[in-house]
Chains A and B, each alone.
Chain A
Amino acid sequence: AQKITQTQPGMFVQEKEAVTLDCTYDTSDQSYGLFWYKQPSSGEMIFLIYQGSYDEQNATEGRYSLNFQKARKSANLVISASQLGDSAMYFCAMRNIYNQGGKLIFGQGTELSVKP
């Protein structure tokens, strides 16, 4: 069965420092996508970054990068130069296109707090 695990319920980081949010996944499929979403206190789900299982390079989007270690089945999100506006819940998610019909499975989330 597919599963996403985020072991850090809450994290604190000092403004302007980098932070890593952990995510491990479990799947027997070869073709899948990994995602990170941000949910601020206002509630919307904001797509941050995507990594395909066949992508050889780690994905980057501005201050966000995804540290993809396929053999270890981990997809950690790295936020560089944290800003106060980064305080939010962060969800790791996985989508198996071919065998699971495309549904997105979420982890439990990590609440990030950025300190001034």
Chain B
Amino acid sequence: DAGVIQSPRHEVTEMGQEVTLRCKPISGHDYLFWYRQTMMRGLELLIYFNNNVPIDDSGMPEDRFSAKMPNASFSTLKIQPSEPRDSAVYFCASSSRGTPAGSSGNTIYFGEGSWLTVV
């Protein structure tokens, strides 16, 4: 089975430009997560969806960031306008909902990440 697919893998953009990151979760998974990783802050959860509905966006840094999930197989994370401090690796991840805590269905699988550099 295909894993979580992210695009682009690498992007270099100029400050002020719009950046759109894309994600295709694993088929059948009903949770989708966007994480950001930096040296200073480690791995941060930005937002996550359940059944295409945003559940918690408290990690979204500011209004410049937005995320959508129009259907079960696609999500976008948009930064507009981008700033140098947005440079990071952005991970998309997905999982199913394992019902008991003992179920490995709780595992969250990550994409390979989108490496964003804003200059």
* In the bound complex, CA of A52 to CA of B49 (Å): 22
Question: Which residues of the partner chain A approach B56 to less than 8 Å between Cβ atoms?
Answer: 101, 103
Q: A44-B110, A44-B113 are in contact. Are A106 and B102 (CB under 8 A)?
A: no
Q: Report the nearest A residue to B43, measured CB to CB.
A: A106
* Residues from 10 to 44 in A contacting B, C-beta threshold 8 Å: 30-33, 35, 37, 43-44
Q: Which of A86-116 contact B (CB under 8 A)?
A: 91, 95, 97, 101-106, 108-109
Q: B45 near A55 (CB under 8 angstroms)? A: no
With an 8 A cutoff between CB atoms, is B67 at the interface?
no
From A35, A45, A102, B91 is in contact (CB under 8 Å) with A45
Cross-interface CB contact of B50 among A55, A95, A101, A108, cutoff 8 Å: A101
In the A-B complex, the 3 residue pairs with the smallest Cβ-Cβ separation, listed nearest first, are: A52-B102, A31-B101, A45-B110
Say whether B97 contacts A54, CB under 8 Å: no
A interface with B by C-beta (< 8 Å): 30-33, 35, 37, 43-47, 50, 52-55, 91, 95, 97, 101-106, 108-109
In whole angstroms, how far apart are the Cα atoms of A71 and B98 in the complex? 24
Contact A95 B106 (CB under 8 A): yes
Q: Looking at chain B, what size class is its interface with the partner chain?
A: 20 to 34
Pick the contact of A108 from B31, B42, B113 — CB < 8 Å?
B42
Q: Tell me which residues across on chain B come within 8 A of A45, comparing CB atoms.
A: 91, 93, 110, 113
Name which of B31, B45, B93, B101 has the most chain A CB atoms within 10 A of its CB: B101
Within 22-45 of B, Cβ neighbours of A (below 8 Å) are at: 31, 33, 42-43, 45
**How many angstroms between the C-alpha atoms of A97 and B103 in the bound complex?**
11
Q: Is the CB of A103 within 8 A of B45?
A: yes
CA distance A91 to B43 in the complex (A): 10
- B95 within 8 Å of A by Cβ? yes
Assuming the contacts A43-B89, A52-B100, A97-B101, asked whether A102 and B110 have C-beta atoms less than 8 A apart, the reply is no
User: Is the CB of B83 closer than 8 A to any CB of chain A?
Assistant: no
**Interchain CB contact (< 8 A) of A97 among B42, B93, B97:** B97
